[in-house]
Amino acid sequence: MKQRIEQPKSSEITPRELYMSRRSFLTAAAGIGAAALGAEKVNELLHPLTVKAATHLNAQRSPISTTGEKQTPYQDVTSYNNFYELSTDKETPARIASSFHPLPWTLQIDGLVGRPLKLDYDELMKLAPLEERVYRHRCVEGWSMVIPWIGFPLKALLDRVQPTGQARYVAFTSVTRPKELPGQQRGVLNWPYKEGLRLDEAMNPLTLLTVGLYGEVLPNQNGAPVRIVVPWKYGFKSAKSIVRITLTDRMPPTSWNESNPSEYGFYSNVNPKVDHPRWSQARERRIGELFRRETLLFNGYGDFVAGMYKGMDLRKDF
């Protein structure tokens, strides 16, 4: 991952309400002027804001949410992304995300389980009640956001498949569709994108199987139709567009660790005291803020997760 922290242009920092009203304005303007402008022009006008028609999701706000922290505007959350299957820069994923057609989708859960499962998108959405979780999201590159995700605890799905006594780890595999995901036509990572958690981390109530954000289905560039969100770890642990969850008895290989083991470990817990070999992790740039803020151990979620790492040397197991 690149060291330089890129800042969004101020024109991109648009509060959600403003962004929505701009969209309604454009939609209305398109309706009124369509005949005069012609369909092509109308499409051009609407294109950047209507890559995918958003679909509303009903979800209850979970008590496990950050309180008092300002949410990062929708526009930033959905236009400043790391999604290497689409592009290695941060602005391109949103621009070209419409090349990806996630549905129909199958999520397979297998490995050391009593009841392996294959779910289509509708079955997945019915598996457990949807919750809104407002989480801090800290990228290993040094930027952070606060995002209202929608999903349900991964534990609900894992309980359903009944892990066997031998299961100790959970491996996540992202989608492989080079025709729809142009980044996969290049060997920047060993495709498919792979991530993993220890079983207790995967079962932790914070770990969210995520299907939406800001009250809507996940935009493609944020990992549609289903991704993992692990808020006490650096963002790269939160694999996007996952097709397979496999329970195993040994630590699974992970993409970033495979590509650069001295820089990206398996655990990757947010830790201001353990620097990346090329930069400090002590502070972070919250997108939309001018001054850097201090990074919190476990991204501020120590009360929920510190117990899982008792007795471990977090410098060694970074």
Residues that bind ligand MTE (CB under 6 A): 81-85, 137, 139, 174, 193, 222-223, 235-236, 238-241
Alpha carbon 89 to chain centroid distance? 16
Minimum CB separation from ligand MTE for residue 215, in Å?
Answer: 16
Minimum CB separation of residue 226 from ligand MTE in Å reads: 11
CB-nearer residue toward ligand MTE: 57 or 139: 139
Determine the Cα–Cα distance for residues 308 and 301; give it in Å rounded to an integer.
Answer: 12
Task: Specify the residue, 133 or 240, whose C-beta has the smaller distance to ligand MTE.
Answer: 240
Beta carbon nearer to ligand MTE, 158 or 237: 237
Cβ(302)–Cβ(273) below 8 Å: no
Nearest Cα neighbor of 309 from 279, 276, 270 is 270
The span from the CA of 311 to the CA of 294, in Å, is 25
* Shortest Å distance, C-beta 203 to ligand MTE: 20
User: Cβ closer to ligand MTE: 112 or 133?
Assistant: 133
Considering beta carbons, is residue 174 or 207 the nearer one to ligand MTE?
Answer: 174
Contact between 166 and 231 under an 8 Å Cβ cutoff? The reply is no
CB of 80 to ligand MTE, least distance (A): 7
Strand partners, 108: 118, 244
**Shortest CB 174 distance to ligand MTE, Å:** 4
Estimate the crossing angle of helix 16-37 against helix 39-46, to 10 degrees: 170
Residue nearest to ligand MTE (CB): 235
State the minimum distance, in angstroms, from the CB of residue 79 to ligand MTE.
Answer: 10
For residues 239 and 274, which CB has a smaller minimum distance to ligand MTE in the complex?
239
Strands (DSSP E) found in 92-233: 106-111, 117-120, 131-138, 143-153, 169-174, 194-198, 208-213, 216-217, 227-229
C-alpha to C-alpha distance for 264 and 3, rounded to whole angstroms: 14
